[in-house]
Structure 1
Amino acid sequence: MIAALGALVRRNGLVLIAVGAVVGVALPGLAAATRPWLVPVSILLMLCGLLRIEPAAFGQVLRRPALALLILAWVTLAVPLLVWLALGAVLPAGSDLLAAAVLMSAAPSVMSAAAFALLLGADAALLTVVAIPSNALAPLVLPLVAGLLGIGAEVEPVAMAQRLAVMVGGSFAGAFLVAWLAGRPALRRAAPSIDAWLVALVSVSAIPCMAGVGPALAQRPAAFLGMFGFALGLNLVLQVLGWLVFRRAHLAGALSAALVSGSRNMVLLLAALGAPGDSDLVLIVAAAQLSLFIVPMLVAPAYRGLARRRAVR
C-alpha cells in the first residue's frame, strides 16, 4: 500500500507540486499560517535532494567547475542584461512589467533547484553548486539592480546570510549524518521513497510561498492573470534561451542551464519588495512565484523529448 502510494506520488509529482501552489492561493489563511515553516521545510527539502546526489557527482562538478561558473555568470549577469535590452526596446522606461522582468531575471536560483532537477532529469549536483553562490551574491546584486531601475528594495544582508547559512549548513549536515548512519547503498535502494518525499516537500513548501497571493488575485483577478501569463512566458522563454546557449554541454548540464535561467528565488525578491498587494510591480513578482510551481509540469515533456533525442544520437 505504502509502496503504491509512493509510486503514485512520484508519477504525478509535477502535477502535485502545481496543486500545492494552487492550494496556497485558494486558502490564504493556510498559506499565512504555514509561512513560519517555510525555512524548516526548505531544509528538509534540500536534505532529501542531497541524499539523492552521489558524492562523486559533487566531486566531478568541483573538479571541473567551468560549466558551473559559466552558468552562474550567465544567470547573474547575462540574463538580466539581455532581458533589459530586449524588453526595454518594446516597453516604456517606467513600465512595471519591464522593472519586474529585470528584477526577476536578476534574482538568485531557487535553493530547491536540486529537487526540480531530479524530477526533470537535470544535473542536481551542478544546480546545487550554482545555487549556493547565486544566493550568496543576492544581497549585492538585487539592491544594485533595483537601484539602477529606481526601485526601493530592502535587503538585509546579515539576515539573508544567516538564513542561507542555516539552510545550507543544516541540509548538508543532516544529509551527511543520514548517509553516515544509513550508508550509501541503503540510500540508493531508498531512492524511490526519497523521490516521493521530495515531491511531498516541494508541494508543501509551495503553500507558504503563496502567502498574500490569494487576496491579491481576489482583488484584481483579470490583472493578476495577465501578469501571471507574462511571468510564465518570461520563464519559458528564458529556459529556451538557456538551453540554446548551453546546448553543446552534456545533456543534464544543458537542461540545468535551461531550468535555472527561468526559475528564480521569488520568495527572496518578494521579501525585499513588500507584500503582493502593495504595487503592480510586487504583484507581477507574486504571479511569477506562482508560475515557478506551474512551469515544471509544462516543460517536463520537452525535457524528456530532448533527453530521448540526445540518447538516440
Structure 2
Amino acid sequence: MSGGLGGLIRRNGLPLIAAGALAGIALPGLAEATRPGLVAISIVVMLFGLLRIEPAAFGQVLRRPGLALLILLWVTLGVPLLVWLVLGAILPAGSTFLAAAVLMSATPSIMSAAAFALLLGADAALLTVVAIPSNALAPLWLPLVAGLMGVGAQVDPLDMAIRLAVMVGSSFAGAAVVVWTLGRPRLRQAAPTIDAWLVVLVTLSALPCMAGVGEALSARPLQFLGMIGFALGLNLLLQALGYLVFRPAPVAGALSAALVSGSRNMVLLLAALGAPGDSDLGLIVAAAQLTLFIMPMLVAPAYRALARHRAMR
C-alpha cells in the first residue's frame, strides 16, 4: 500500500469503519455474500493486530496479570449484574430491552479488540489477553444468562469452543510465521502500512456483520432507529463507567477497560438468537452490532483528550 494512500486511510480510519457498516446495511446482497468469509476476515484482523503488539507488551501483562483479571471479572460478572440491577429498577421484568441489555453486557469482548485498541490508544496486549478467556467462557456463561432472563439462546458449546480455538490458534500461528519471516525490526518499520491494512480489514469485516440488518431496517425503520439509540446509549454509558471504575490504572489500561465494557462480540449473540428480523430481541442486538462500528468514531476525541490530560498530570 502506497504511503499516500496508507496515510489517507489511517487519518480517516474510524469514519471508514463506520462507512463499512453502513454499506453492509445499504447493500444487503453484498453483506449476505460476504457472510461466509467473516471468520476468515476476523482471523486476519487478529493476525494484523498481533503484528503491532510487541512481545514485551504481552510479557508485561502476563507477568502482572492483576489488571487483566480485574477487567475480565468486571466485563464478565460486574457489568451484566450492574445493568440488570439498574435497568431492572427502571424497565418492567418482561421488557425485551432489559433482556437485550443484560445479554449484550454478558456477551464476551470482541476478539478483534487489539485492532480497536490500536486505533483508539488503548492497550492492545491487555485487551487481547482479556478477550481470549472472555470468549472461552461464553459457551457456558451466555446460555446461563439467557436462561436467567427467560430467553432462548441456542448455543452449541463445542462448536463455539472449536471456532474460538481456530480463530486464536490461526491468528497467533500466522503472526508467528510473519514475524519469523520478516523479523520484528522490519515489522516496526512497516507499522504505518499495517495500521492502514487494519483499517481496511475491520471495514471489510463490518460488511458481513450487517447481514440481515438492512432488511430489518426496511421493515421497521422507526423502531430500529430507536433500538440503535438505546444500544448506542448503553454502549457509551458502559464505556464511561468502565473508565471511571478503572481510572486509578495507567491511562491505557483505563481506556482499555472503557472500550471493552461497552464493546462486545454481538456476532456471537446474533448467531445464538437467529436472524435479526426474527424477533425484537434479535433486532436490538443487530442495532448494537451496528453501533460497534460507529462507536469508535464517536469516542475517539474523548479517548484522545483523556490520554492527553493524564499525560500532562
TM range (shorter): over 0.9
Structure 2: which amino acid aligns with 1:298?
Answer: L
Residue correspondence of structure 1 range 173-212 to structure 2 within 5 A: 173-212=173-212
1:56 matched to which residue of 2? 56
1:9 positional shift:
0.3
Q: Alpha-carbon deviations, 1:112-144, whole Å to 9, x = none? A: 000000000000000000000000000111100
Measure the CA separation in 2 of the matches of 1:191 and 1:157: 37
1:12 matched to which residue of 2? 12
2:97 matched to which residue of 1? 97
1:162 positional shift:
0.8
- 1:254 and 2:254 are equivalent in the alignment: yes
1:114 matched to which residue of 2? 114
Measure the CA separation in 1 of the matches of 2:91 and 2:151: 17
Structure 1: which amino acid aligns with 2:259?
Answer: L
1:87 positional shift:
0.3
Measure the CA separation in 2 of the matches of 1:256 and 1:69: 13
1:110 positional shift:
0.3
2:123 matched to which residue of 1? 123
Residue correspondence of structure 1 range 1-313 to structure 2 within 5 A: 2-313=2-313
Measure the CA separation in 1 of the matches of 2:149 and 2:239: 24
Measure the CA separation in 2 of the matches of 1:240 and 1:191: 30
Structure 1: which amino acid aligns with 2:146?
Answer: A
1:73 positional shift:
0.2
1:106 positional shift:
0.2
Measure the CA separation in 2 of the matches of 1:281 and 1:181: 46
TM-score, normalization: structure 1? 0.99
Measure the CA separation in 2 of the matches of 1:33 and 1:157: 26
CA-based RMSD: 0.6
Gapped regions of structure 1 (runs ≥ 5): none
Structure 1: which amino acid aligns with 2:285?
Answer: V
Measure the CA separation in 2 of the matches of 1:256 and 1:95: 31
Measure the CA separation in 2 of the matches of 1:2 and 1:66: 41
TM-score, normalization: structure 2? 0.99
1:311 positional shift:
1.0
Measure the CA separation in 2 of the matches of 1:188 and 1:149: 47
Structure 2: which amino acid aligns with 1:284?
Answer: I
1:201 positional shift:
0.3
Structure 2: which amino acid aligns with 1:220?
Answer: R
Percent pairwise identity: 79
1:2 positional shift:
1.5
Measure the CA separation in 2 of the matches of 1:2 and 1:53: 23
Measure the CA separation in 2 of the matches of 1:85 and 1:162: 33
Gapped regions of structure 2 (runs ≥ 5): none
Q: Alpha-carbon deviations, 1:10-64, whole Å to 9, x = none? A: 0000000000000001011100010010011111100000000000000000000
